[in-house]
Structure 1
C-alpha cells in the first residue's frame, strides 16, 4: 500500500524505520499526547509495535516519509491516529498526510464515519482534526496515557463520509 501527496509518501511501517521512529518518539513532548506509547521509547518498544501490527491491514500503521526521512506515523484502526516528530511540527505535514489517509479510507471502505480523539490540552491535534472536518461529539472518555502514567480526558470527534465528501 502506498499513498502519495504533493510532498509526502505514506507507506507501511517496517524494520528499516526503527532508528527514525525511536528518535521521533523518544521525545516526551511527542509521547505525552499518545495513549499507548511509553517514555522513554526504545528499539524494543518499536520491535514490539511491529510485532503487534503484523498481519493487520497496512493502513493501520503508515510511515509518513519525505524522501528517506520518516516524519511520523498515521493509521486507521478503530479510529484515526497519528504522531509527528517535533522537528516537523508547524509545516502542515499531518493535515496533508492524515487527510490523504482519510481520503483513501472513505474511497476504499464502506464506512459511514470515522472517529478520532485528542487529549485535553493538545491544541495542535485539535487543529489537525478540525482542518480535516472532524467535529466534537461532546464525549470525553478517560484514557490511560502510558508516558504520563495517568488517566487523561480523551476528547472524541467524528467525521462522517458525507461531511468528508462535501469538503472535498
Structure 2
C-alpha cells in the first residue's frame, strides 16, 4: 500500500469505526465489489439510484463498475473530486461510501452517496459509514456543510439522514431511469450533526489534504 500511496496519496486513507473499515477501492478490490453488487442491492424494479446501474445484466455490470472506479480516479482534481471508499466488516466487502466536493477550499461543502448489499442492510451499517465520512469531512477536511439527496420515496436513505441531523433542503424533479421522480435534498452542518458515540480512527489523511491543497 505504501508505494501506491506514494503514487496516488488518497490510497493511504483509512477510516475505522467500531464495526467497519473504509478505504479507497483498489483494482484488486473490484471483484469483491462486483460480487457484492451481484448479490443484490435493492428490490427488482425499485432502483434508489437515478442511473439504475445495479440492474445491469451480469456481463455488463462488472465493466460498468470498473469503468466508474477508474473514471473517478482519473477525474480527481483539487477543483472537483469523488473519493470511492470500500466498506469492509471482518474482511467482508459490504458496499461503497463515496465522498466528493467541488472547490472544497472555498465552498467548504461535501456531498455523499452510497450503496450497501442487501444482506448487510437493516443493521445500522449505512448510518455508521455515512457518519464516518461526514465526521472525517468536518473534522479533517474543514467542511462546513455536507449534502446528500434521495428519491422522496426512499425512506431508508432519508431515515439515515434524519437520524444524523440532516435537514430538508428542497425538492426537485429528476430523470430516474426511464421515469421522473421527486428528489429530496438534505443538508447537514457541524452544529446540527448528531455525532455518534464512538471515536473515528483516521490514518493516512495528511497526504490527501496536501493533494487537495487544504
**1:92-141 CA distance string (max 9 Å, x none):** 1111111011100001223221110111211110111111110112x112
Q: How many residues get paired?
A: 164
| 113, 122, 134: which one aligns with 1:81 | 113
Is 1:36 equivalent to 2:54 in the alignment? Answer: no
Q: Within 5 A, what are the aligned runs for 1:82-97?
A: 82-97=114-129
8 Å Cα contact 2:131/2:195 also seen in 1: no
CA contact (8 A) 2:41 2:116 kept: no
Structure of larger gyration radius: 2
Q: Deviations over 1:22-68 (max 9, x none)?
A: 23334362671012342216110111111111142787210110122
RMSD: 2.2
Q: Structure 2: which 5+ residue stretches go unaligned?
A: 1-12, 102-110, 197-214
| Off by >4 Å, runs of 4+ in structure 1 | none
Scaled by the length of structure 2, the TM-score of the pair is 0.69
User: For 1:144-168, what per-residue CA distance to the aligned partner results, in whole angstroms no more than 9, with x for missing partners?
Assistant: 33xx32232210010012222x756
Question: Could you list the runs of 5+ residues in structure 1 that have no partner in the other structure?
Answer: none
Cα distance in structure 2, aligned partners of 1:74 and 1:28? 14
Q: Distance in 2 between matches of 1:133 and 1:112?
A: 14
The 8 Å contact of residues 63 and 72 in structure 1, kept in 2 or not, is answered as yes
Report the equivalent of 2:104. none
